[in-house]
Chain A
């Protein structure tokens, strides 16, 4: 059981480039989330989804886009990468049950130079 799988693990982008961070979960969870973690900080929510075809903005959505065409996949798109987007990105999923935790992927470390 793989849980939440994120690819790639590391990436370096040039300013203005675009890329997609992939996230897949095999636990049939309804809810999926994207967070970013800046150095010395906690995680901040970028986007989330409560089911296929439904997405909404979190606390820090600017510069990002998401889609959720299937229950399993929740890719995060960076358009026109900026140095401020240098961060570690975590994808998470959870069932629609209140006392169950979110399960996190191992993260993607992204540097924009």
Chain B
């Protein structure tokens, strides 16, 4: 069974500073994908970044980057130059990638980290 662990219930960061949100995962699958979603106080789920298990380079999307350490089974999200609008819940999620019929592509979510950006 897949499992996602986010050990930081809450984090504070000063505006314009960088912050790292931790995510560790557990899976027996060889092919999987890791996702980060942002959930602002308005409630919607916003996709931020994706990392495939076979990707050799860490994923980057604008101010977001993913520090992927496969041997340690970690996929930490790094947000550079934090902005007030980054204050939100952040969820790490994983899914198997190899199509194996019904049941594929389900996401397993962590419990989330609440990030607060301080002006």
Q: Mark A residues whose CB is within 8 Å of B.
A: 31, 33, 40-45, 48, 50, 54, 56, 58, 88, 90, 92, 94, 96, 98-99, 101-104, 106-107, 109
Tell me, in angstroms, the Cα distance from A106 to B102 when the chains sit together: 26
Residues of B70-102 contacting chain A, CB below 8 A:
91, 93, 97-99, 102
Question: DSSP majority for the A interface?
Answer: strand
Name the residue in A42, A48, A56, A102 with the highest tally of chain B Cβ atoms < 10 Å from its Cβ.
Answer: A42
Q: Mark B residues whose CB is within 8 Å of A.
A: 4, 31, 33, 35, 37, 43-45, 47, 50, 52, 91, 93, 97-99, 102-112
Tell me which residues across on chain B come within 8 A of A94, comparing CB atoms.
Answer: 105
* A99 and B102 contacting across the interface, CB-CB below 8 Å: no
Question: Which partner residue on chain B sits nearest A95 by CB separation?
Answer: B105
* B91 and A42 contacting across the interface, CB-CB below 8 Å: yes
Tell me, in angstroms, the Cα distance from A60 to B71 when the chains sit together: 31
Report 13 cross-chain contacts, Cβ distance below 8 Å, ordered by A residue. Answer: A33-B106, A43-B45, A45-B106, A45-B107, A50-B102, A56-B103, A90-B45, A92-B107, A96-B99, A99-B52, A101-B35, A104-B44, A106-B44
A31-B105, A42-B91, A107-B44 known; A101+B50 contact, CB < 8 A: yes
The one of B52, B91, B97, B98 that contacts A43, using a Cβ cutoff of 8 Å:
B91
For residue A6, give the distance in angstroms from its CB to the closest CB of chain B.
10
For residue B82, give the distance in angstroms from its CB to the closest CB of chain A.
22
Tell me which residues across on chain B come within 8 A of A33, comparing CB atoms.
Answer: 106-107
* B107 and A43 contacting across the interface, CB-CB below 8 Å: yes
Q: Give 11 A-B pairs besides A40-B112, A101-B47 with Cβ atoms closer than 8 angstroms.
A: A42-B4, A43-B109, A45-B106, A56-B103, A90-B45, A92-B107, A99-B52, A99-B97, A102-B47, A104-B45, A107-B45
